[in-house]
Amino acid sequence: MVAVFGTVMNAVPILVWAERRVSAWVQDRVGPNRVGPWGLFQPIADALKLLFKEDIVPDGVDRVLFVLAPAFAFIPAALIVTVIPFGAPMMVQGEPLQLQVCRGNVGILLFLALTGLGVYGIAFAGYASNNKFALLGGLRASAQVVSYEIAMGLAIVSILMSSQSVDMNAIVADQTGTWMGFVPRWNVLRQPIAFVVFLVAAFAESNRLPFDLPECEAELVGGYHTEYSSMKFSLFFLGEYTAMFASCCMITTLFLGGWSLPGMNLASTSIPFSLLTVGVFFAKVSLLLFFYIIIRWTLPRFRFDQLMQLGWKTLIPLALANIILTGVLAQR
C-alpha cells in the first residue's frame, strides 16, 4: 500500500512537469527551464507557492462540504490504483507476493464504484461555494460523469464477456499469447470498439480537454473550483492527475495486456522477472499519459450539447451494439 501510494504521489508532480514541457513543445515554446535542470523542480516550486498562499473561505459557503469536497475529488481516484496488478507475482522467502493491493474477484466492480464516487467532490464543491458559476460547473460535471460512466461500463461488459472473469489478473492472463506467432492477443485488437468507447469515456470522466466543460474558463470563470485557493485548490488538480494516471493504468490492464509482453516466460516467479514486468507495465502507462497530454493541447473543447450527444447518441448505442456483436461471435 505504501509503495502504491508513493507511486501515485510521485507520478503527479512528474505529470505536471511533463504536461508543461509537452504543451510547450506542441506550441513551439520553451516551457519551464529555470527551476532546476530542464525545469524539473518546477512542481516543487508550485507546491511551495500554493502551500504559502492564503486560504480564503468566502461568506455564505457550506463550510463542511466546502472543506470535504477536495478530499472527495482525490481519495476515490487514489483508491482506484489499489485494484491494478502492476506486475507478475514474485516469490519472496518461499511465499507468493501479488503486486496488487486489493486482490479479489471484484476488481472491475470496485473500479466502477470508485469512478462514480469521484463526481461527488466536484458536485459538492459547486454546491457549497455559494457561487452560480461554481454551481453550473458542478451540475455539468454530474451530468457528464453519469452519462459517460454508462458507456464506460458497457465497454467493460464486452471485456468481461471475452475473458469470462471480473478478476483483473484473469483479464491480463487472457491477453497473453499471440496470433501467428507475433501478433499479441490484446483486447485492443480483439475489442477495438470497446477500446475506443472506453478511451473517450475515460477522457470525459477525468474532465480533461476536449471534455473539460465543468471548468470551461471562457464560460464559467473557473467552474466548480472558482472559490478555492491554496492547498484546497491544489487538491483538485491532484485528484485530476491521479484520475488520469489511474485511467491509463486501467486501459493498460484491460486492453494492452497489462504487464505482459509476447514472448515472456509467464511461468517465472523470480524477483528480476517481476520487476521487468513492472517496467513493462509503466512503459505502457507512460505512452498513454503522453497521448493524454497531446490530446489536451491539440483538440478544441466541445460544446456542452455536443458533449451530451456524443455520450448518449453515439457511445452508448455503439457500446450496446458491441456487446451484441461479442455475444454473437462467441456463439460461433
Domain boundaries, the chain: 57-330
Summarize pLDDT for 253-312 with one digit per residue, the tens.
999 988 888 877 777 778 888 888 999 999 999 999 999 999 988 888 888 888 899 989
The pLDDT value recorded for residue 217 is 65
Nearest alpha-carbon partner for 253 in 318, 170, 155, 154: 170
C-alpha cell at 176: 497473453
The pLDDT value recorded for residue 248 is 93
**Residues 6 or more apart whose Cβ sits within 8 Å of residue 76:** 114, 115, 117, 118, 121
Coil vs helix vs strand at 289 = helix
**Residues 6 or more apart whose Cβ sits within 8 Å of residue 132:** none
C-alpha cell at 302: 466541445
Q: Give long-range contacts, CB 8 A cutoff, 24+ apart: 24-30.
A: 26/294, 26/297, 26/298, 27/297
Residue 179, φ and ψ in degrees, nearest 5: -100, 135
Neighbours of 22 (CB within 10 A): 18
The pLDDT value recorded for residue 211 is 83
The pLDDT value recorded for residue 221 is 67
C-alpha cell at 101: 493491493
| HSE value, Cβ hemisphere, 13 Å, CA-based, for 303 | 3
Sites in the chain below the pLDDT cut of 50 = none
Neighbours of 130 (CB within 10 A): 14
Neighbours of 279 (CB within 10 A): 12
The pLDDT value recorded for residue 188 is 93
Q: How far apart are the first and last CA of the chain?
A: 43
For residue 239, give Cα distances in angstroms to 73, 76, 153, 155, 194: 6, 9, 21, 24, 26
Residue 225, φ and ψ in degrees, nearest 5: -105, 25
